[in-house]
């Protein structure tokens, strides 16, 4: 790209700065929800669960199945009908991903934990699970692009600094923030949350103090799965399309967001997701849409070089109540 083209793109970015920012916040909210799963599991087990991206994909396909198979939606809805539909689909998506995460922990990871298997074994297992889930989705729904029925008409809800803000972006951002705040308060203030933090800080001491480690690990995977399912639902609302391997790129970007904010830090996952979404949109505006996915990897490399612990860097076990 020539300097002249870059200058033109920079001028366009400045002109549409708030539009790109709004888009980045919506996309970043989805990344943040997925990143929380990576953060929770890493905080408790010091394990990078790369199969988490497929838990997110299962949430997308659970919503798509409910749209056409359970609710038989053939046209956009409005009013109370729309609200009930959105709630039903959100619950369906979260339940499907949450159950899948529990099954994955019970069948794949727990036996490895009890045998004190090397972490590399768990990493290879995660990759294997990802491939199995991808092929299952391809077998069930095909390898072509899936375009489910639109749930509601996307239209401008209000104007912010001269930019129109559509209702789907507001829904994704607000709902994601509410879910993330709810998780943060649950981990900080509830008894089960204290068990998660104690296990993250020192599993052996927590066990001696009466904490059921298996229960904590199951709860951790369940919470991550529920939020990944919610992310899948919002992803489907925002993009209205999916493929059998849709989990890979958002999963990698969510992992980048977790590292950016400080993996093992719940608030860091929120901050990292929002920042990554915004930077991705700015990068695409400057260098072209073909660089959108590459930009996330560039951010990951830079963060690991400059600040490996992330922006906040505080581990889950040292989170204050």
Q: Is residue 319, in this structure, part of any structural domain at all?
A: no
Give the mean pLDDT of the chain.
88
3-state SS assignment for residue 242: strand
Summarised one tens digit per residue, pLDDT across range 102-135 is 999 999 999 998 888 888 898 899 999 999 999 9
State the DSSP H helix or E strand holding residue 158, giving kind and residue range, or none if neither: strand 156-160
**Statement: residue 291 has pLDDT above 80:** no
Which residue from 43, 148, 31 is spatially nearest to 92, judged by alpha carbons? 148
- CB of 315 closer than 8 Å to CB of 265: yes
Query: Strand pairing partners for 163?
Result: 160
- CB of 208 closer than 8 Å to CB of 18: no
The residue segments making up the domain with residue 224 are 35-257
Q: Is residue 106, in this structure, part of any structural domain at all?
A: yes
Band of residue 295 on the pLDDT scale cut at 50, 70, 90: confident
Q: Is residue 315, in this structure, part of any structural domain at all?
A: no
Which residue from 311, 321, 56, 64 is spatially nearest to 193, judged by alpha carbons? 321
CA angle, 121 then 111 then 128, to 5°: 45
Instruction: State the virtual CA torsion across 206, 182, 222, 64 in degrees, nearest 10.
Output: -170
- Distance separating alpha carbons of residues 72 and 69, to the nearest angstrom: 6
Q: How many CA atoms lie within 13 A of 129 on its CB side?
A: 26
Q: How many CA atoms lie within 13 A of 207 on its CB side?
A: 8
Q: Is residue 304, in this structure, part of any structural domain at all?
A: no
Contacts of residue 170, defined as CB under 8 A and 6 or more positions apart, other chains included, come to 157
Question: How many domains, the chain?
Answer: 1
- Distance separating alpha carbons of residues 28 and 10, to the nearest angstrom: 21
Q: Is residue 150, in this structure, part of any structural domain at all?
A: yes
Q: Is residue 243, in this structure, part of any structural domain at all?
A: yes
Neighbours of 306 (CB within 10 A): 7
Summarised one tens digit per residue, pLDDT across range 168-187 is 999 999 999 999 999 999 99
- pLDDT for the residue numbered 2: 63
Q: Is residue 25, in this structure, part of any structural domain at all?
A: no
Q: Is residue 321, in this structure, part of any structural domain at all?
A: no
């Amino acid at each position: 790209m020539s300097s002249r083209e870059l200058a033109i793109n920079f001028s366009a970015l400045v002109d549409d700065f708030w539009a790109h920012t709004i888009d980045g916040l919506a996309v970043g909210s989805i990344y943040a929800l997925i990143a929380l799963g990576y953060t929770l599991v890493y905080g408790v087990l010091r394990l990078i669960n790369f199969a988490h991206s497929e838990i997110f994909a299962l949430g997308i396909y659970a919503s798509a199945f409910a749209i056409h198979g359970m609710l038989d939606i053939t046209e956009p809805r409005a009013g109370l009908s729309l609200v009930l539909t959105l709630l039903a689909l959100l619950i369906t998506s979260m339940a499907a991903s949450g159950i899948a995460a529990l099954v994955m922990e019970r069948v794949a990871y727990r036996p490895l934990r009890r045998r004190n298997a090397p972490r590399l074994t768990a990493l290879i297992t995660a990759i294997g699970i990802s491939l199995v889930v991808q092929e299952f989705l391809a077998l069930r729904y095909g390898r072509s692009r899936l375009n489910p029925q639109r749930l509601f008409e996307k239209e401008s809800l209000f104007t912010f600094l001269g930019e129109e803000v559509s209702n789907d972006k507001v829904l994704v951002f607000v709902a994601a923030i509410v879910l993330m705040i709810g998780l943060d308060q649950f981990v900080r203030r509830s008894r089960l949350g204290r068990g998660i933090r104690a296990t993250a800080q020192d599993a052996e001491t927590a066990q001696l103090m009466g904490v059921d480690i298996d229960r904590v690990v199951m709860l951790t995977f369940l919470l991550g799965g529920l939020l990944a399912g919610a992310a899948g639902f919002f992803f489907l609302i925002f993009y209205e399309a999916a493929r059998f391997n849709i989990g890979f790129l958002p999963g990698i970007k969510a992992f980048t967001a977790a590292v950016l904010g400080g993996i093992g830090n719940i608030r860091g996952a929120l901050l990292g997701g929002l920042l990554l979404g915004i930077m991705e949109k700015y990068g695409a505006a400057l260098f072209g849409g073909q660089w959108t996915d590459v930009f996330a990897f560039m951010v990951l490399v830079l963060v690991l070089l400059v600040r490996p612990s992330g922006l906040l860097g505080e581990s889950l076990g040292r989170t204050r109540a």
